[in-house]
Amino acid sequence: MKRLTCVLLLFVFQVYAQNEDEKQIRAIFDAALTQGKAYDWLNYLSNQIGGRLSGSIQAQQAVDYTKAQLDSLNLDRVWLQPVMVPKWVRGTPEFAYFETSPGNSINVPICALGGSVATPPGGLKAQVVEVKGIEELEQLGREQLEGKIVFYNRPMDPKLISTFEAYSGCVDQRYSGAAEAAKYGAIGVIVRSMNLNLDDYPHTGSMGYGDTPVAERIPAAAISTLGANLLSTTLKLNSDTRFYFKQSCKQFDDVQSYNVIGEIKGTQYPNEIMVVGGHLDSWDLGDGSHDDGAGCVQSMDVLRLLKLTGYKPKRTLRVVLFMNEENGLRGGNEYAAVAKKNKEEHIFALESDSGGFTPRGFSFDCSAENLTKVQGWKKLFEPYLLHLFDKGYSGADIGPLKNDKIVLAGLEPDSQRYFVHHHAENDTFEHVNRRELELGAASMASLIYLVDTYGF
């Protein structure tokens, strides 16, 4: 009889707890969809400040603006965490064409890759050699590549439903393509944009030279997908086609910037810290609305929504707007280094850096035991059409916090349109849907609530 009573009490408690969780999550979604602030904050970041490349005036304006907004939320603490970041400047707009014979040329859209060196002041013109990937360079050898421009033309795989998997399958040519081509005497690199769409927007992104001596570094640019297809077709008809491009980008000394941090102190376990965040910097071609203005304003609204619904976290909750994810990850590394130095105990970190599209769920980097616990919350999210609760990648900025105990997570929005805008001129505010953005913020706040309530 005593055992039966205990079982009944446990069942009653579980039903009560689930009802309370349902009510709190419903309150969060209601508040986000009727009183959300993320879209308004994003409007200002995008349209009043614009692209926020690390080390730029716009990046500093974004720091000042988001700190002021966090100050207005009456959090327990708001502060700036200094971090030294790289300063790379694009310079005058890039220009390119290919020439099939003297006087017969076709202009194509390009943009310098972030971190690239400039071409000579008069530009660079040479014969083009098309390859599908870095592995082909060795087959061709110095004899066929020396003095040439290497054209990397491996597309994202359209058969992959996960667009991030498709991106991972060819981004090595963007990041390492110039360093590898220089080993064989190439004098420049053109890379097909990481984009599943066929359009005329070139997509920039980070590249690196590794240990290539400064004097041997060659300029690298991205070409639009339509431009890449046209160039590829032309090369098949005329292998003597020559490519010209001119860019004036420059790397300066590092400058000081900041991570922007706001905090609600935990009422029961203040030494256990939960982080929610995105990266405040963006590339300079568009205004960085999806990448990653959306993640920043969603993360800011998580704290506001919890306060608005009257919820008081048991554990300390921090929003961190990381600086310099795009071309250095300095903000994420600095935050983790300071946390380690201060011996802070982080139990959970959630990042939004996949665009402001309709949320589908979350991916988790954690132990099997903790993943099972998280997956036990799936039913609470079913009314909001969130269904992905899988083991996987979390986020670049929270990655440096990884240890044996912490649970890392990433918001998983629908990704099919993300790479249409990623790092391109059309990553702009009008391509963000207010309701989708707000649903993402509510999803994140709900997950934070559950982690805070039940811990790991």
Give yes or no for a contact between 196 and 158, defined as CB atoms under 8 angstroms apart.
yes
Q: What does residue 27 show for φ and ψ, rounded to 5 degrees?
A: -65, -40
Q: Which amino acid is at 102?
A: P
> How do 220-223 and 188-192 pair as beta strands?
parallel
pLDDT tens by residue, the chain, 456 residues: 666 555 544 454 455 667 999 999 999 999 999 999 999 999 999 999 999 999 999 999 999 999 999 999 999 999 999 999 999 999 999 999 999 999 899 999 999 999 999 999 999 999 999 999 999 999 999 999 999 999 999 999 999 999 999 999 999 999 999 999 999 999 999 999 999 999 999 999 999 999 999 999 999 999 999 999 999 999 999 999 999 999 999 999 999 999 999 999 999 999 999 999 999 999 999 999 999 999 999 999 999 999 999 999 999 999 999 999 999 999 999 999 999 999 999 999 999 999 999 999 999 999 999 999 999 999 999 999 999 999 999 999 999 999 999 999 999 999 999 999 999 999 999 999 999 999 999 999 999 999 999 999
Rounded CA separation 6/401 (Å): 40
DSSP label at residue 424 = S
pLDDT at 406: 97
- How many other C-beta atoms lie within 10 A of the C-beta of residue 270? 15
> How do 124-131 and 149-152 pair as beta strands?
parallel
pLDDT at 18: 72
Q: Which amino acid is at 316?
A: T
Question: In 36-171, where does DSSP find H-type helix?
Answer: 38-44, 57-71, 135-145, 163-168
**Residue 325 annotated as catalytic:** yes
Q: What does residue 267 show for φ and ψ, rounded to 5 degrees?
A: -85, -25
Give yes or no for a contact between 294 and 336, defined as CB atoms under 8 angstroms apart.
no
DSSP label at residue 422 = T
Give yes or no for a contact between 365 and 392, defined as CB atoms under 8 angstroms apart.
yes
Rounded CA separation 297/319 (Å): 10
- Name which of 31, 22, 67 is nearest 307 in CA terms: 31
Active-site hit among 180, 263, 272, 325: 325
- How many other C-beta atoms lie within 10 A of the C-beta of residue 380? 19
- Name which of 29, 24, 43 is nearest 359 in CA terms: 29
- Name which of 119, 121, 118, 181 is nearest 149 in CA terms: 181
pTM, full prediction: 0.94
Query: Going by C-beta distance under 8 Å and a sequence separation of 6 or more, which residues neighbour residue 127?
Result: 147, 148, 149, 240, 241, 242, 243
pLDDT at 15: 56
